Amino acid sequence: MASLDAEHARRHWWSRRHPNTNEHPDSRKRKRQKEPSRQLGRRRLDSPRKVKRRRSRGANDVDRHWTYSSYNSSTCNDRFVIVSYNILGDDNVSKHSDLYCNISAEHLSWEKRKMRICKELKLYCPSILCFQEVDNFDDLAVLLRNDGYTGTYKGRTGCANDGCAIFWKKDRFSLLHQESIEYQKYGLRDNVAQLCLFQVSADHSNHSTSQDVNSSLAGRTLLIGNIHVLFNPNRGDIKLGQIRILLERANMISRKWDNNSVVLCGDLNSMPQSAIYRFISSSELNILMYGRKQVSGQIEFPSTLEKCTPYNDGTRAQPCMTKVLRYSWSEEEIRIAGGSRGCTLLQSPLKLSSAYAGVPGTSDTRDSNGEPLATSYHSKFMGTVDYIWHSSDLLPVRVLETLPINSLRKLKGLPSERWGSDHLALVCELAFINGTTVPIDVS
């Protein structure tokens, strides 16, 4: 009886609150229970809306792009793509683990990295590959053989496990001559360099529009040099000695083969603002104008980790000159750098130009020399130490830009999910300048 009175009272209260409806007070509750699916798609007004955050683009997402020369190279009937790449020796990963404290073990694994490196290289369709820090040559040889490459390797002397390697497309080039330089024989540490002389296969021209290959290309020769210079920033004398000997040997081979085309690649462990860079680009250097520890620029221009701005030659010229007064060269250091006692003016008969400096880029990736802002990045360094140099009878048609500094910084170091080394590959397409034909600047 009590329950009926309570039900009656509840109905009476409901009718007073809702005079224009005959709904039972429980009907709305039952309706909500019968239609749960309608509620699942509705958002409560007091619940915050979920905002999809756009993931910032890092260096794993940014594609490297080609920058083309302003010269009209349509008259150059034969071209080839060359790569210079320090691929980070597997042994060096464990020896210098402090450089990769921000990198996951997966990204440091050679088994993973070698696949990323080979996958990346396929994108560029290179004819010649110059590698440094190679300590798994057989692995690379097997992987690259499937893509038509063959190669040669020269390991460092002493206790080091890595060395340099050159690979080439068998259908584009045939090897005529090769030699290696063991710097230990000159008292210049355990570094090595390679020199390979190739004959161009004229019937495999890379020129996509011309079916007529100039007959002068048949049998043309090309000399490729590959070097990994000593790292030690304090031994500028040894660095200069290593590069001087490579230039001398390259010139001797080139003269023997009718002054053939020359390309030198490598990790020079020297900055674009350095005396070493000036020596190669100008073919001359007075070493007394530089302190031995400033020759490579690694101390004066140590890193772009904190701040990376395009280099301005005018702002750095005066400090470099004033520091001469603080340093002197011993007779032995002069002999090491110059090749003989008292030789303070280094000269090279080879006239070489930087491939990247020959194709103007933008301040996002280049300094005012035209060199990349960064070709290497780990926890203690971000900067440029890798180069491709070529003789005047070759024209850089295009170069592959490195990554913008801001994109690199987001990775906190290399290697990464996409990039298989702590260096970025330098990639350039070079064209033979046929006879006396001079390309025209169409900019």
The reported pLDDT for the residue numbered 40 is 40
Identify whether 122 is part of a domain. Answer: yes
Q: What domain range is 100 assigned to?
A: 66-434
- Determine which helix (DSSP H) or strand (DSSP E) holds 149, and give its type and residue range: strand 149-155
Q: Tens of pLDDT along 34-90?
A: 444 444 444 443 444 444 444 445 556 678 999 999 988 887 878 999 999 999 999
285: closest CA among 327, 230, 235, 243?
243
Identify whether 33 is part of a domain. Answer: no
Q: Is residue 217 a contact partner of residue 189, using CB atoms and an 8 Å limit?
A: no
Identify whether 31 is part of a domain. Answer: no
Query: d(Cα 136, Cα 85) in Å, to the nearest integer?
Result: 14
Q: Which two tokens stand for residue 423?
A: 């260096």
Identify whether 48 is part of a domain. Answer: no
Identify whether 185 is part of a domain. Answer: yes
Identify whether 319 is part of a domain. Answer: yes
Residue whose structure tokens are 């290497």:
376
Give the 3-state secondary structure of residue 398.
strand
The CATH number of the domain where 219 resides is what?
Answer: 3.60.10.10
The reported pLDDT for the residue numbered 325 is 41
**CB under 8 A, 24+ apart: contacts of 405-411:** 405/304, 405/308, 405/364, 405/365, 405/373, 405/374, 407/57, 407/58, 407/59, 407/62, 408/59, 408/374, 408/377, 408/382, 409/382, 410/56, 410/58, 410/59, 411/58, 411/59, 411/60, 411/377
pLDDT tens digit at each of 443 positions of the chain = 555 565 666 666 656 656 555 555 555 554 455 444 444 444 443 444 444 444 445 556 678 999 999 988 887 878 999 999 999 999 999 999 999 999 999 999 999 999 999 999 999 999 999 999 999 999 999 999 999 999 999 999 999 999 999 999 999 999 999 999 999 999 999 999 999 999 998 665 444 433 334 445 667 999 999 999 999 999 999 999 999 999 999 999 999 999 999 999 999 999 999 999 999 999 999 999 999 999 999 987 666 555 544 434 333 333 333 343 445 899 999 999 999 999 999 999 999 999 999 999 999 999 989 999 999 999 999 999 999 999 999 999 999 999 999 999 999 999 999 999 999 999 999 999 975 456 667 66
Query: d(Cα 57, Cα 77) in Å, to the nearest integer?
Result: 39
Identify whether 105 is part of a domain. Answer: yes
Identify whether 43 is part of a domain. Answer: no
Q: Is residue 357 a contact partner of residue 390, using CB atoms and an 8 Å limit?
A: no
Q: Tens of pLDDT along 261-278?
A: 999 999 999 999 999 999
Give the 3-state secondary structure of residue 285.
strand
Q: How many domains does the chain have?
A: 1
